[in-house]
Amino acid sequence: MPVLVMKFGGTSVANLDRIRRAAKRVGVEVAKGYDVIVIVSAMAGETNKLVGYVEEISPLFDAREYDAVVSSGENVTAGLMALTLQEMGVPARSWQGWQVPVRTTDAHAAARIEEIPTDNINTKFAEGMRVAVVAGFQGIGPDGRITTLGRGGSDTTAVAFAAAFGAERCDIYTDVDGVYTTDPRICEKARKLDRIAFEEMLELASLGAKVLQTRSVEMAMRYHVKLRVLSSFEEQSDEAGTLVCDEEDVMESKPVAGVAYSRDEAKLTLLSVADRPGIAATIFTALSDAGVNVDMIVQNISEEGRTDMTFSCPVGEVARAEAALSEIKEKGALNYSELVVDRDVAKVSVVGIGMRSQSGVAAKMFKVLSDEGINIKVITTSEIKISVLIDRKYMELAVQALHDAFELDKAA
């Protein structure tokens, strides 16, 4: 029988009523003739509660025990979902990560999936099991210890299972009914997309869109797994939600597919840095070692052997960045006159595969922001993306103005 993967996020399994509702959706797909692999998250709020317990007991916790604790939320949901399906007359069984087994690296709390053998679950399908309910977010490391994949890891689990089992599709059920041209909470004209290319979704996810986890989109693109994002709370049809697929399967041809934003950004500028080979490596190696996630980078024109270096990072990582840069300055590996920090900026981006073949997107974007009196602090581009840093107070205005200017409320 063909295999379908269905993933239910925390809000979709937040209580027993929602688990029953999700189970009914699974039953519909079983009735269509699918063998179904259901990937479940912990109930909404459960992982945060478990993390809180760990941090209260041991602020400098052992990551292996952290994984043992926080992975338990998914185990509970998997068992409850399997029981619910059994009560409906659907042959189902729950599986924890180590039982499959989902083999991962040993990077506890941030493990990566290396292999998912299919023999155990396929044997049970052959014996009459119709649904395998798998605890998402978890696996087993080389040392036999439980590992977790990091926040949002259940999305990655679902895509990995779809790839391993050659699933017809991977349906991601969440609290939104698809991927929108921008955040509907900011722009009431935001439109749900019927389809979006993997590359566009990957950029949107990495730039602040919260619908799908970035690693799951990367994996889906690599293994050509068709993803469908759906709402757990609305009636479904075969055309519901948004299909994330290969570029050639996307019918719309607008130059811009969506506008993304990231509110909590910071801009840091090192003034009067020596302009010589290796200086950038010194700066950004220190930041990387400190766990600072650097994004946009701009180096000014050199004057008399000195230059300014500007970069952005999440505002919550500024303290680590300051400490790392101060440390290498004290050691004599880096000399700069001042570190200027702006914690009140936001990143706004336009994304679209149509940029490859249509010119003028950047000019239009900059003109729109200029007309609204919004000053651009930093610009970065890629083949299908343009991002700018602006004052945070203008973020919503920028998103709305760009959404209107590129007519994203209208289909192509």
Q: Is 175 annotated as a binding residue?
A: yes
Q: Is 180 annotated as a binding residue?
A: yes
311 Cβ contact partners less than 8 Å away, ≥ 6 residues apart:
267, 268, 284, 287, 294, 295, 296, 297, 298
297 vs 275: CA distance, rounded Å: 15
Partnered with residue 272 across adjacent β-strands are none
Q: Is 8 annotated as a binding residue?
A: yes
Q: Is 45 annotated as a binding residue?
A: no
Q: Minimal CA–CA distance to 313: which of 375, 268, 378, 380?
A: 268
Q: Is 10 annotated as a binding residue?
A: yes
Which stretches of 9-145 are assigned E, i.e. beta strand? 35-40, 92-95, 103-104, 113-115, 131-135, 138-140
Q: Is 329 annotated as a binding residue?
A: no
Q: Which two tokens stand for residue 99?
A: 């039982």
Element (H, E) at 125: helix 119-126
Q: Is 32 annotated as a binding residue?
A: no
Q: Minimal CA–CA distance to 161: which of 195, 126, 120, 106?
A: 120
Residue 14 vs residues 46, 75, 92, 196, 201: alpha-carbon distances, Å = 9, 14, 20, 28, 26
Q: Is 166 annotated as a binding residue?
A: no
51 vs 375: CA distance, rounded Å: 40
Backbone angles phi, psi at 404, to 5 degrees: -70, -45
Q: Is 124 annotated as a binding residue?
A: no
Q: Is 29 annotated as a binding residue?
A: no
Annotated binding-site ranges for substrate:
47, 74
Annotated binding-site ranges:
7-10, 47, 74, 174-175, 180, 185, 210-211
Annotated binding-site ranges for ATP:
7-10, 174-175, 180, 185, 210-211
